[in-house]
Structure 1
Amino acid sequence: MKKLFLIIGAPGSGKTTDAELIAAKYETITHYSTGDMFRAEVASGSKRGELIDSFISKGKIVPIDIAIETILGAIKRTSTDVVIIDGYPRSGEQMTELDKYLAQEDEVELVNVIEVKVSKETAFQRVLGRAADAQVVRADDNEEVFLNRMKLYIDPLEEIQSFYTKKNLLKVISGERSIEEIVNEMDNFIQSKI
């Protein structure tokens, strides 16, 4: 049985970096970022990649069927028992569809959803600071797209928090600290659940 942890957080919350650092410490943990999975598909030049790009480039959500197919395929192919996915779910519909799938799934168990909480100001500074660093410039790192991505994150957040709280699966971690502090708390929490 694969143990699945989902990490959610605003653009610039550090969720991808946190998950990467934890997965790098253990041979038993695999990390996937939905953004990375989508960008890899875009880079492949496939028809699906072109479709994904038409959404990502505008800061819009990738259609649910494409996202779930990409995510679940990756989980089942991984060689490790623990999988961390960041950046999913991003909408109530994605959450509900994933939950329906997992309810019938005997290979994958959702252990927890971890929310990395940061203020809008912190997220804004981090994303636009990242855009200024020439080594990691992404097409989606500009103010207008950031504000759109932030709205897309915030609009369904209460519904997502409520849903996973009722299932006793939501863990909130402050992202307003150093990466080391955040990663230590998240790592200790994940280890306590596996």
Structure 2
Amino acid sequence: MKKLFLIIGAPGSGKTTDAELIAKKHDDITHYSTGDMFRAEVASGSERGKLIDSYVSAGNLVPIDIVIETIVGAIKKAPTPVVVIDGYPRSGEQMTELDKYLANEKEVKLVNVIEVVVSEEVARDRVLGRARGADDNNEVFNNRMKVYTEPLAEIQAFYTAKQLLHKINGERTIEEIVDDMDNFIQNRIKIS
């Protein structure tokens, strides 16, 4: 059975970097972002990949059932027993649909949802401070932050009720954050 960890956090929280560094440290952990999973599915030439491509290339959102099937399919095919996905779920709908799917899924177990907690001020400083592309501006940041924070209370309440939410302070050094998250994941792998 695959053990799944989801990492959520504001733009600029460092969740992707944290997950990548942890996966690099361990041979038994694979890290994915949802974008990576879609690209891999499209590249595979599968029927689902062609369907995803038809939505993405037209600039449309991929329907939730296809998103969930793609994510669970990628988890099952992962070369390791532990999978870490960052940036998912992004909405109440994504969360509830994944939960429904996993309720009947014997090969994948959601072990924990880790929230990397940073203030909006720290997130803004990090995103605008790195300003790598045209999308790294105040207006875009405000929109990304809104998209993240609007469903956050619902997501936190849902996973807290299931005793799956674990918060990590994302306002420390990258080493401290990664060590904290890695220790938590390693402990959860042992007991789950």
TM-score (norm 1): 0.86
- The alignment status of 1:30 with 2:54, answered yes or no, reads no
What letter is aligned with 1:145?
A: V
Q: Please name the residue that 1:152 is paired with.
A: 147
Distance 2:51 2:135 in 1: 21
- The alignment status of 1:161 with 2:165, answered yes or no, reads no
Q: Please name the residue that 1:2 is paired with.
A: 2
What letter is aligned with 2:65?
A: D
Q: Please name the residue that 1:174 is paired with.
A: 169
Cα distance per residue 1:73-109 (max 9 Å; x no partner)? 2101111100000000011111000000000000000
Structure 1 stretches of 4+ with a deviation exceeding 3 A read 35-47
Q: Please name the residue that 2:127 is paired with.
A: 127
Q: 1:103 to 1:37 in 2, by over 3 A?
A: same
Q: Please name the residue that 1:189 is paired with.
A: 184
What letter is aligned with 1:178?
A: T
Runs of at least 5 residues in structure 2 that lack an aligned partner in the other structure: none
TM-score (norm 2): 0.86
CA RMSD of aligned residues (A): 2.2
| Identity among equivalent pairs (%) | 73
Runs of at least 5 residues in structure 1 that lack an aligned partner in the other structure: 56-60
Distance 2:113 2:135 in 1: 25
Contact 2:52 2:62 (8 Å CA) reproduced = no
Pairing of 1:79-158 with structure 2 (within 5 A): 79-132=79-132, 137=133, 140-158=135-153
Q: Please name the residue that 2:56 is paired with.
A: 52
- Displacement of 1:47 after TM fit? 6.2
Q: 1:41 to 1:102 in 2, by over 3 A?
A: closer
- Displacement of 1:42 after TM fit? 8.0
SS in 2 for 1:171: strand
What letter is aligned with 2:33?
A: S
